[in-house]
Amino acid sequence: MEIRFGKDGLVPVVVQDYQSKDVLMLAYANKDAIKKTLETKKAHYYSRSRKKLWMKGEESGNVQEIVDVRIDCDGDALLYIVRQHGNACHTGNYTCFFTKLEGSE
């Protein structure tokens, strides 16, 4: 299946821990980030704020080793299944999804 990139050239990437199955984060990738991810087996993304390619953990050391990469049924989202080293979230939490939305209980 072919990846369907958005008008901005990006595709959303959901990141999941291969053991716990926790959803760790949501990021975006362009063609170059996906190519680097597949070549190096380390998660690469495209930073929308910095407008550049980056490898997860290049500054923090919290690298994501790729276990598997999957595409959704519409071709417009990817799933990186990873072996997470350290925390995934820049706040220091293991996952970026640690806050419950008010009223969701």
Residue ranges covered by each domain of the chain: 11-84
Residue 100 DSSP label: P
Q: Which helix (H) or strand (E) holds 47?
A: strand 44-47
pTM: 0.94
**Confidence category of residue 32, pLDDT binned at 50, 70, 90:** very high
Q: Which CATH superfamily is domain 11-84 in?
A: Phosphoribosyl-AMP cyclohydrolase (3.10.20.810)
**Any alpha helices (H) in the chain, and if so which ranges?**
31-40
pLDDT value of position 12: 98
Residue 42 DSSP label: B
80: pLDDT strictly greater than 90: yes
As a whole number, mean pLDDT of residues 3-24 equals 98
pLDDT value of position 30: 98
Total number of residues shown for the chain: 105
